[in-house]
Structure 1
Amino acid sequence: MAELDRDRVLAALAELDDAHALVLTSAGDGIRMAHPFSAWPMGFVVRGGDRLWWGGCAWDSFGIVAALGERLSILTICPHCGRELSYGAGPQDPPDADRVVVRVPRPAAEWWDDVVATCTAIRSFCSTAHLECWLADTGEPPGARVELERLWQLALPWYGDRLDPDWRPRSLEQRQEMLERAGLRGPFWQLGG
């Protein structure tokens, strides 16, 4: 068995983190997230039969659907009322939740300033009314309200090839084009350099 040099491994992990291919722990010595999967619970459980995964956020949960290429169930909690939200989706099947909306907390150019905090705050709400009440109660900035199906449409191309052994991070231009194809346009959705 080949011996691995710790410093080389940590340098390779840091390079993948810099390329946004994964997210390291705060100590930099472990993987916190390999989008769309999370190594730690973050408010979303994705289920397929007897298999469970943690999704980093509403978008990442659909990313797991896209990456695995199968219909899965997604379970989360509405931040306003605490009600359990459960909906299914597949690569060809949009989510089966009528009134559920998602809050994206900050503009796209700021996502990677603290990607764990960003993902933690991309949450599903029972309805627009629950999102509005939650914003009023918490004083949080509104961010952007996104329909569940639009995030599903974005997740399919964004994460659909993520488990391919030849996967490489996409360019800024490619990622911006995916946002625009999903109908996410305007200053809020402009990715940073």
Structure 2
Amino acid sequence: MRDLVYEAFAAEGRAPSVGELARRTQSTAGDVLGVLRDLAEAHALVLTPDGDAVRMAHPFTSAPMAFVVTPVDGHDDRRWWGGCAWDSFGIGAALHLDVRIDTACPQCGTHLSFPTGPEIPPPAELAVRFPRPAEQWWDDVVGTCTMIRMFCDRAHAGRWTADNAPGSGHITDATTVWRLAQPWYGDRLDPGFRPHSREHNQALLEECGLTGPFWRLP
């Protein structure tokens, strides 16, 4: 079931419906919902508030958030919604594809548009702000993703924080987040994918220099 969800996101930029999944698996809608809820409980995907559809399958999201991701190759017309700055890098990583990310700086509204991919880092001056510590990410995962935003630079991220959420969050450079996204999401579409352990993911954070209490996973 999980693989079918990711297949639809990768190929068409959308989440499959419960009816579609039931048809593909020759099962009932009730059975599909049961499996989806189990996957959501395991943090393998995120359901809508009513629990009757797929909202997110990281790094993909079924609804617009703040990022649009498109292939750099002009002959590939796929389009994905990026749930956050990290997930937007993760889409290129998961698809092993060079992409263009389009978003806007929350502080000044400047349109940010740049190519990136598994071997192409983002512009060095860009910054990313994480709104809450790692141990709280899944308390409201959609809310967390919504606020992992990309800024023109650290100064703009700092000003936005001072004006809107003083004393909270963590600001890092976008290149660090890009580096983290490659191993975090790079195997997400592989056949036989198995979720990473907490220890594995903690090591990925540390390898990118994201250490200390803020980055400690639950």
TM-score, structure 1 normalization: 0.94
Aligned length: 191
Aligned partner of 1:30 among 44, 49, 53? 53
Taking CA–CA contacts closer than 8 Å with sequence separation of 6 or more, which of the two structures ends up with the larger relative contact order?
1
Q: Report runs of 4+ in structure 1 exceeding 4 Å deviation.
A: none
**Cα distance 1:154–1:139, how it changes in 2: closer, same or farther (>3 A)?**
closer
Q: CA deviation at 1:170?
A: 1.2
1:13-162 alignment, distance < 5 Å: 13-48=36-71, 49=74, 50-95=77-122, 97-162=123-188
Q: Which residue of structure 2 aligns with residue 190 of structure 1?
A: 216
What is the deviation of 1:87? Answer: 1.6
3-state DSSP class of the match of 1:74?
Answer: strand
How far the C-alpha of 1:86 sits from its partner, in A, is 1.0
- Normalized per residue, the structure richer in helix is 2
SS at structure 1 position matched to 2:88: helix
Give the Cα separation in 2 of the matches to 1:163 and 1:141.
37
For the Cα contact (< 8 Å) 2:124–2:175, is it kept in 1?
Answer: no
Report the Cα distance in structure 2 between the residues aligned to 1:37 and 1:140, rounded to whole angstroms: 30
Instruction: State whether residues 20 and 169 of structure 1, in contact with CA within 8 Å, keep that contact through their aligned partners in structure 2.
Output: no
* Residue pair 1:19, 1:169 contacting (<8 A) in 2 also: no
Report the counterpart of residue 4 of structure 2 in structure 1.
none
Which residue identity lines up with residue 206 of structure 2 in the other structure?
E
Deviations 1:75-95 (A, max 9, x none): 101001111011211111211
Give CA-to-partner distance per residue, 1:25-61, whole Å, 9 cap, x none: 0111100011001100110001113221111000000
| TM-score, normalised via structure 2 length | 0.84
Unaligned regions of 5+ residues in structure 2, if any?
1-22
The alignment partner of 1:51 has SS state of coil
Report if the CA contact (8 A) 1:105-1:141 is conserved: no
* CA distance in 1: counterparts of 2:179 and 2:154, whole angstroms: 20
Q: Which runs of 5+ in 1 are unaligned?
A: none
